[in-house]
Structure 1
């Protein structure tokens, strides 16, 4: 886990990029009726705007809120670190999913009509299971592993 503000920014950028990219791929696949090779490249076009939104939401709203709630449940240094990490991951997915689904619906779905609310609710409902699984079993472990290896390499220098 990050120890300094600079490390926190790097970690957040890494996590946001991996989470957003995965979720954008998933949503494009839903829109076109299933996963196809072109989706991996197509998702890159949405990554800049959704990545910035995700970074801002996580940095200023969701991240601090998830940390505050999770540290109320588990004490860093006292309780097992895995419980704190899992709580932060679950809380982050729980809060980020409806927020990011809102912006995805606003910017990338044909939602400029009376059905915006219904489309946002449907998008959020479709994204929740994947966001949790992707965070807990994919993006989270991957980013923590790569970030940890980067920290270890920097300490050796």
Structure 2
């Protein structure tokens, strides 16, 4: 997992793209009454604005808060790594889903007297998708990509440290 600020930024970017794209596809499909090939293309238009919002929220608000909440439940020093990963992932979804649903509601569903109801409905519809997508696909997929991106760097760092002894 990320060990430096640079790695944290890369990990967050990867996760944002995978999560946001999937949720945008899902929401457009809900609005259009079903999934079509066109939806996959349409989602790229919203990915930019929603991706920027998700990245900023995750880096500066949701990420730190999710870790703080998760580490009050799971102890990285004592609990198995998978438990810590799952608790952090769950806390992240619990924070990001309502926040991103609010942004999507304001941007794409309009601000009127029903804005709170629209936001709550959007959150309720998005939460199961966001949670399952994160736990069963996005999380494992992004961690796999991340491991492959940084495995040579970790090996090189290990060899450099061993050579310095």
The equivalences for 1:68-79 within 5 A come to 68-79=68-79
The TM-score normalised by the length of structure 1 is 0.95
Unaligned runs of 5+ in 2: 157-165
- Unmatched 5+ stretches in structure 1: none
Corresponding position: 1:94 with 2:124: no
Q: Deviations over 1:23-75 (max 9, x none)?
A: 00000000000110011110000011101110111111110011112122222
What is the CA-CA distance between 1:156 and the residue it aligns to? Answer: 5.0
Post-superposition Cα deviations, 1:90-138, rounded to whole Å, max 9, x if no partner, equal 00011110100000011112x2321111111110110010010010011
Distance 1:73 1:117 in 2: 31
Q: Give the TM-score, by structure 2 length.
A: 0.91
Q: How many pairs are equivalent?
A: 156
1:151 corresponds in structure 2 to 150
**Alpha-carbon RMSD:** 1.1
Regions of 4+ moved over 6 Å: none
Larger Rg, first or second structure (1 or 2): 2
Residue of structure 1 equivalent to 2:37: 37
Alignment-derived partner of residue 161 in structure 2: none
